[in-house]
Amino acid sequence: MPSARSLSRSRLIWPLIALGCLLLFNVFFTPNFFHIEVKEGHLYGNLIDIIKNAAPIMLLAIGLTLVIATKGIDISVGSVVAISAGTVAILLGGDLGGVPRFPVALALIGAVLASTAAGVWNGILVSRIGLQPIIATLILFVAGRGIAMVLTNAMVIWIYVKPFAIFGQGYWLGLPFSIYMVAGLLLLTWLVTRRTAIGLFIESVGINPTAARFSGISAKNILLGVYVFSGFCAGLSGLVVCSTVMSADGNNAGNLYELDAILAVVLGGTSLNGGKFYLLGSMIGALIIQTLTTTIYAFNVAPEISQVVKAFVVYGVSLLQSERFRRRIAGMFVRERAPA
């Protein structure tokens, strides 16, 4: 019998194959796609760009993976990204000379605290008041962007504080700094969920909250925890987004990110019905989305049209996750293929 571990490995196979196919397509059709060169001590190339551009979505996807594992959803993350970006921009100030209004560290902490507070709000609505997750996070989805716009007074705030650029544009040991943020957060989350029982608790809440409660798991606190964590991740993501363009635009920062992040988690094999979650799968999912976008760019197609492609990817993936669809297909090819 396959152990849980090898099963999780086999769940990773599908997203990996999808990513592999995309990359293979680029080997043949996009010249110089795999070309990586060293400029000024940094690595440059399409592959590095993909990882760098995927970083904000990856950070969001880490938090969302845990939320979705509890059979929840957090559609407010895009707005929370805007709040985080707005907060850090306000705290650093738009001083042309590059003198921050508050110390950079304080501004960073402030932004992450603000977004974590947003997570606490979501968590309380879901775990204590008992609202459906979609609705609970819908509130901040609507109001969050408003809060971000009010924070920044509906203006784009430019940041001239040089050290802050490291999150979105900086390099360390030849690689973009944001990759280390993703790796660090991923490692930490993996340790906490897989080296302690917390991961199991989260999965059991997703599979059956009542049963989880009866077996002595504090389902409420687990739920609260995952939403708080999702807010925290969105805060980090907001820092990267804000630092990449060195400005905070409450209207566009993190716009539609929630959809990309949810898509990344689903592509990575975590079911929207809760239960087992795959952090690494979500990361691969985010890479698939970014590779797809980069590939479309490489073909000189308007980037907006990539949304049509994304839509069909979502339809395809949902169909594959649908039991009824699988049964039908199995019924059609009953002779050629044994039912799974």
Distance CA 4, CA 11 (A): 10
For the bound state, the minimum distance from the C-beta of residue 107 to other proteins, rounded and expressed in Å, comes to 22
Does an H or E element contain 188, and which? helix 177-194
How far apart are alpha carbons 198 and 210 in whole angstroms? 17
Residues 268-327 that bind other proteins (CB under 8 A): 272, 302, 304-312, 314-315, 318-319, 322-325
Q: Which of 7, 99, 135, 173 binds other proteins (CB under 8 A)?
A: 135
Judge whether 269 and 281 are in contact, CB under 8 Å.
yes
Answer yes or no whether residue 139 interacts with other proteins by CB under 8 A: yes
Contacts 24+ apart (CB under 8 A), 26-31: 26/291, 26/295, 26/298, 30/295, 30/298, 30/299
Total chain residues near other proteins (CB under 8 A)? 54
CB of 318 to other proteins, least distance (A): 5
How far is it, in rounded angstroms, from Cα 58 to Cα 109?
A: 20
61 near other proteins, judged by CB under 8 A: no
Interactions with other proteins, residue window 158-177 (CB under 8 A): none
Beta bridge partners, 45, equal 36
Which of 279, 299, 206, 239 is closest to 15 using CA atoms? 279
Main-chain phi, psi angles of 37, to 5 degrees: -130, 165
Q: Cα angle at 300 between 294 and 303, to 5 degrees?
A: 55
Question: Taking CB under 8 A as the rule, which mask of x and - marks residues 170-209 in contact with other proteins?
Answer: -----------------------------------x---x
Work out whether 89 is an interface residue with other proteins (CB under 8 A).
no
* Stretch of residues binding other proteins (CB under 8 A), selected from 39-47, 142-150, 171-179, 284-292: 142-150
The answer to the question of residue 221 lying near other proteins (CB under 8 A) is no
Q: Given the complex with other proteins, which of 141 and 171 has the nearer CB atom?
A: 141
Q: Residue 94: how many CA atoms within 13 Å on its side-chain side?
A: 10
Which amino acid belongs to residue 242? C
**266 forms part of the interface with other proteins (CB under 8 A):** yes
> Between residues 117 and 314, which has the closer beta carbon with respect to other proteins?
314
Stretch that binds other proteins, among 1-9, 28-36, 128-136, 183-191 (CB under 8 A): 128-136
Task: Decide whether 100 or 133 has the Cβ nearer to other proteins.
Answer: 133
- The SS3 of residue 117 is helix
Site for other proteins in 237-256 (CB under 8 A): 250
Torsion sign (Cα): 236, 81, 191, 125 = positive
Part in contact with other proteins (CB under 8 A); list of ranges 5-13, 54-62, 122-130, 156-164: 122-130
Applying CB under 8 A, the residues found at the interface with other proteins are 71, 73, 125, 129-136, 138-147, 149-150, 153-154, 205, 209-210, 213, 219, 223, 250, 259, 262, 266, 272, 302, 304-312, 314-315, 318-319, 322-325
